[in-house]
Amino acid sequence: MKIMTRSVDETVEIGKRLGSHVTKGTTVCLTGDLGTGKTHFSKGFADGLGIRGTITSPTFTLINEYHDGRLPLFHFDVYRVHDEESVLDLGFEEYIYGSGVCLIEWADLIEGILPDEFIHVNIEKTDNEDERVITIRAVGGEFEWLKEMRI
Q: What is the pLDDT of residues 63-87, one digit of tens each?
A: 999 999 999 999 999 998 878 998 9
Stretch 129-151: mean pLDDT: 82
The residues near 1 (Cβ < 8 Å, ≥ 6 apart) are 135, 136, 137, 151
pLDDT at position 14? 95
> How many domains would you assign to the chain?
1
Residue 43 lies in a domain: no
pLDDT at position 151? 61
φ, ψ dihedrals at 83, nearest 5°? -155, 155
Report yes or no: 55 and 131 within 8 Å, Cβ to Cβ. Answer: no
Residue 29 lies in a domain: yes
- Determine which helix (DSSP H) or strand (DSSP E) holds 18, and give its type and residue range: helix 8-21
Q: Which domain holds residue 32?
A: 2-36+49-72+80-124+132-140
